Amino acid sequence: MRDPRLLFERYGRQLLVDGVSVEGQARLGRLCAVLAHDTSEVARSAAHACGRWLVGAGVGRLVVTSGGADELRALDADLEVLPSPADAEPPCAQFWFARRDYGASVDVALTDEPAGWATGRSAAARVTTLRWVVGAPAQPEDAVALGAAAADLLVADALGLEPMPLLLTVDWSNPADPHSKRTPRPVEAVPVGVALAADVAPLLPRLRALPAEWGRIEAEVEARYPNEACGFVVRDTDGNLCSVAAPNLQDRYHALDPESYPRTARTAYKLNERAVAKAESDGAELVCIWHSHCDAGAYFSAEDVRCAAPGGVALFPGVAYLVLAVMGGRVRGVAMYHFDATSGGFAAELG
Amino acid sequence: MAPMLPPVAIVGCGGLGVPAAWTLAVAGVRHLRLFDPDRVEGSNLHRQVAFGEHDVGQPKAEVLARFLRRHVPGLLVEPVMSRVGADDLAEALAGFDAAIDATDAGDAKFALNDWAIATPRRRTACLAAAIGRTAQHFVVTPTSACFRCLFEAPPPRVRLATCATAGVLGTVTGQGGAVAARALVRALRGEPDAATGALVRLTPRGWLRTAVTVARACACAGTLAASA
């Protein structure tokens, strides 16, 4: 935390804004921002611009995945620049910048629970997608504005001005009608981290004891990074556990219906259920669905709960859910979750 | 290949001028002239993100020029450490047909507007402003309505809140300045943009546009006819 005597000098203009408090400023100071991007120059520039505005606003810790760290450090002597996403302790906000056919997008995942960043079991994350729509892939002149707009999502949230929405679309494609649309986050209690029922047999150790099956899962999630990967595990007719990788259909759904599917494959997965049905029609029994979190912890997120048990009813009763945390392209943490019908929540295997 | 963008002058190297200059440079403008009489202060750093703590006390125009040269090799940048107003604008901007006002002074926007609509009308100007959680910009082109079609004259200075009295978010000036510069780039390329002859505002609810038609009584109506 910055020396209180210097607080007003540096952030005075920000603290004067209606609704901004010293507490909000301190909240920003505790945040760690992880900035990552695809290979496009627009995304790289936007991520760098975003970093500058985050540091300017008072974010205290930063992870940058491609250069520019020295320049950002020069902005603020108190800034802590970390070398890897794996070093980022919560509260943490991850940004993923990507150039898209329609312009560009930024996914922001905010995790503010102290437990469960890299290896935890029940931390919740709030994920927002910013869609920057210009009717064609974003151009260099979009980069700085996109970076500032992405930074604004986190800054306004941390300062207590505006909670991060589920989806923010900024649409410049029609010059006669530029507009923004905020899709608010539904308010819902998300039961996670409930106690695991005693009669549930741990699955994770059994799966990890099968090098070929476990290796197939790890290889798939690392190969698909920075997008989430997904698949499932079945017990075949001989009683053996077999892991199967399935395509992540999320980007396809997002492109067709961004309102219903605001997230991209960077922060969400959509399992091809026909692949599951085919395995089951061959006599196999579905025992586990797995997916990865990229540069995020192995927690069962609110989105995961919503997809696995909408309205508190499990879509696949008795099926476990495996989450793998992939940081910088390597698996850094795993956790297995089981549905608990009594509480309507998910419990992690311990050990 | 995209047409070459003409030189652009930026009046004001603060919260709006920094993202505006950065956007223009990466968009392909090869020659920028930066005007600002001030030196970097600690209270600027939350929004003027080209400046670091070690830049405090140095001229803003010069520090911004160094930042731009570092990020966009080959860029010609002329820092000018002086204030420009209605009296000396024409001389300061000689040789330029495109400019952005990125100051917090209302009368400066009218001065640049008048520079843009002067006969023969060939200039393009973007007038940007920000305060609190809001920002706005307006682009005047040789064939568009002008700022005076919307606001006939600057309000008295005493009525205006400033960033020093109402505060401002850096992420708002960042978006405001960058989107204003983006609008200018599109106008210079001859592409339709939301802000050409229109007021585009950023509010806490998002971006909004107010179209402006040429006012019959406005000075620009005459120059518009002359250029048509």
Separation of alpha carbons A346 and A348, rounded Å: 7
Question: Is A189 among the domain residues?
Answer: no
Taking residues B93-110, report their average pLDDT. Answer: 94
A214-218: average pLDDT = 94
| Confidence (pLDDT) at B222 | 77
Q: Write down which residue in A118, A150, A183 finishes a domain.
A: A183
Q: Which of the listed residues A117, A148, A183 is the one where a domain comes to its end?
A: A183
Chain A: residue whose CA lies nearest to B49: A52
Burial of A240 (0-12, 13-18, 19+ CB in 10 A): exposed
Average of per-residue pLDDT across A257-265: 87
Per-residue model confidence (pLDDT) at position B183: 98
Residue A198 lies in a domain: no
A212 touches chain B (CB under 8 A): no
The residue assigned the tokens 């609190």 is B132
Give the residue carrying structure tokens 């029940």: A122
- Does residue A223 lie in a domain region? yes
Q: Looking at residue B2, what is its pLDDT? A: 59
**Closest alpha carbon within chain A to B70:** A71
User: For position A119, what pLDDT does the model report?
Assistant: 41
Which chain A residue has the Cα nearest residue B56?
Answer: A75
Q: Which residues contact A317 (CB under 8 A, 6 or more apart)?
A: A339, A341
Query: CB count, 10 Å around CB of A2?
Result: 17
Position B160 scores a pLDDT of 62
CA distance B104 to chain A (A): 14
Residue of B163, B196, B207 lying closest to A13 (CB–CB) = B163
Residue B167, min C-alpha distance to chain A (Å)? 4
Query: What's the Cα-to-Cα distance from B97 to each of B90, B94, B184, rounded to whole Å?
Result: 10, 8, 12
Give the mean model confidence (pLDDT) for residues B157-171.
Answer: 75
pLDDT at A135: 95
Contact of A340 with A193, CB cutoff 8 Å: no
Judge contact between B53 and A77, C-beta under 8 A.
yes
**Is the previous residue joined to A191 through a cis bond, with omega within 30 degrees of 0?**
no
Backbone angles phi, psi at A94, to 5 degrees: -105, 135
A165, A17: one domain: yes
Report the length, in residues, of chain B: 228
In this structure, the answer to whether residues A161 and A235 fall within a common structural domain is: no
**What's the whole-number average pLDDT of chain B?**
92
Mean pLDDT of chain A: 85
A136 and B CB contact within 8 Å? no
Q: Which of A53, A62, A177 has the most B C-beta neighbours within 10 Å, making it the best mutation to test the interface with B?
A: A53
Structure tokens at B151: 């606001």
Shared domain check, A219 and A173: no
Quickly count: other Cβ atoms within 10 Å of residue A161's Cβ. 17
Looking at the structure, tell me whether residues A227 and A164 fall in a common domain.
Answer: no
Minimum Cα–Cα distance from B178: chain A residue: A145
pLDDT (0 to 100) of residue B83 = 93
Q: Classify residue A191: in a domain, yes or no.
A: no
**Higher per-residue confidence, B71 vs A189:** B71
pLDDT of amino acid B52: 93
User: Residue A216 belongs to what domain range?
Assistant: 204-348
B163 is catalytic: yes
Residue for token digits 């709006």? Answer: B16
Distance of CA B182 to the CA centre of its chain: 11
Let me know whether A139 and A217 are in one domain. no
Nearest-CB residue to A14 (from B19, B51, B167)? B167
Q: Are residues A167 and A209 in the same domain?
A: no
> Which backbone phi and psi does B197 adopt, to 5 degrees?
65, 30
Answer yes or no: is A283 within a domain.
Answer: yes
Residue of B nearest to A174 (CA): B194
Answer with the residue of higher pLDDT: A7 or A229.
A229
Contact (CB<8Å) A152/B169: yes
Q: Is A189's pLDDT higher than 60?
A: no
Relative to beta strand B8-11, strand B98-101 is: parallel
For B178-222, the pLDDT digits (tens) are: 999 999 999 999 999 999 999 999 999 899 999 999 998 898 887
Predicted confidence at residue A347, as pLDDT, reads 76
**How many domains does one find in chain A?**
2
Stated as kind and residue range, the H or E segment containing A213 is helix A211-224
Mean pLDDT of B113-127: 93
Residues A38 and A171 in one domain: yes
| Domains of chain B listed by start with CATH number | 8-227 (3.40.50.720)
Please answer yes or no on whether A176 and B194 come within 8 Å at the CB atom.
yes
Shared-domain flag, residues A12 and A93: yes
Question: How is residue B16 written in tokens?
Answer: 């709006």
Q: What is the pLDDT at residue A342?
A: 66
Q: Is residue A190 part of a domain?
A: no
A248 in Cβ contact with A230 (< 8 Å): yes
- Which of A216, A242, A230 minimizes the C-alpha distance to A291? A230
pLDDT of A186 reads 66
HSE, CB side, 13 Å, CA atoms: give it for residue B145: 20
Q: Does A141 touch chain B (CB under 8 A)?
A: yes
Q: Which residues pair with A292 in a beta bridge?
A: A324
Least confident range from A64-68, A309-313, A326-330, A340-344: namely: A340-344
The CB-side HSE value for A313 (13 A sphere, CA atoms) comes to 1
For an interface test with B, the pick among A6, A8, A9, A13 (most B C-beta atoms closer than 10 Å) comes out as: A13
**Residue B23 with chain A: CB contacts under 8 Å:** 141, 143-145
Q: Which of B171, B179, B213 to mutate to test the interface with A (most CBs of A within 10 A)?
A: B171
Do A149 and A96 reside in the same domain of the chain?
yes
Chain-centroid distance, C-alpha A152: 18
Average pLDDT over residues B43-61: 94
pLDDT interval class at A185 (50, 70, 90): confident
Strand, helix or coil at B127? strand
Query: Can you tell me the distance from the alpha carbon of B171 to that of A54, in angstroms, rounded to the nearest whole number?
Result: 8
The CA distance from A178 to A132, in Å, is 11
What ipTM did this prediction achieve? 0.94
Query: Quick one: pLDDT band at residue B39, thresholds 50, 70, 90?
Result: very high
CB of A111 within 8 Å of a chain B CB? The answer is no
Percent of chain A with pLDDT over 90: 42
Decide if A130 is inside a domain: yes
The answer to whether residue B154 scores a pLDDT higher than 90 is: no
Closest among B47, B17, B44, B45 to B32, alpha carbons compared: B17
Q: Please name the amino acid found at residue B21.
A: A
Tens digit of each residue's pLDDT (9 = 90 or more) over A87-134: 777 888 889 899 999 999 998 888 765 444 444 333 456 788 999 999
Spatial distance between the Cα atoms of A71 and A307, rounded to a whole number of angstroms: 41
Same domain for A177 and A38, yes or no, is yes
CATH number of domain containing A227 = 3.40.140.10
Statement to judge: residues A18 and A96 lie in one domain: yes
**How far is residue A333's CA from residue B116's CA, in Å, rounded to a whole number?**
60
In residues, how long is chain A? 351
Query: In the beta sheet, which residues pair with residue B131?
Result: B134
- Three-state secondary structure call for residue B212: coil
Collect all residues of chain A within an 8 Å Cβ-Cβ radius of residue B196.
Answer: 175
| pLDDT band, residue B30 (cuts 50/70/90) | very high
Mark which of A136, A153, A183 sits at the end of a domain.
Answer: A183
Q: Which amino acid is at A134?
A: V
Distance from CA of B110 to the nearest CA of A (A): 24
Same domain, A208 and A276: yes
Closest-CA distance, A14 to chain B, in angstroms, reads: 5
Residue A18 belongs to domain with CATH number: 3.40.50
pLDDT tens for each residue of B1-28: 456 899 999 999 999 999 999 999 999 9
Residues of chain A with C-beta less than 8 angstroms from the C-beta of B204: 161-162
Tokens of B71: 């990020």
A332/B169 Cα distance (integer angstroms): 37
Contact B45/A156, CB-based, under 8 Å?
Answer: no
Q: Note the pLDDT of residue A2.
A: 56
Which residues between 144 and 183 in chain A have a beta carbon less than 8 angstroms from any beta carbon of chain B? Answer: 144-145, 147-149, 151-152, 155-156, 161-162, 170, 172, 175-182
A261 in a domain, yes or no?
yes
Q: Within the 17-36 window of chain A, which residues sit less than 8 Å (CB to CB) from chain B? A: 17-18, 20
* H or E element in which residue B108 lies: helix B106-117
Distance CA B95, CA B210 (A): 32
- Of the candidate ranges A140-149, A309-318, B133-142, the one whose mean pLDDT is the lowest: A309-318
Percent of chain B with pLDDT over 70: 93
* Mean per-residue pLDDT, A61-68: 82
| Per-residue confidence (pLDDT) for residue A322, from 0 to 100 | 94
Verify whether the Cβ–Cβ distance B207 to A178 is below 8 Å: yes
* Predicted pLDDT of residue A311: 72
Q: What percent of chain B has pLDDT over 90?
A: 78
- The minimum CA-CA distance between A256 and chain B, rounded to whole Å, is 24
Q: Which of these is catalytic: B13, B163, B218, B220?
A: B163
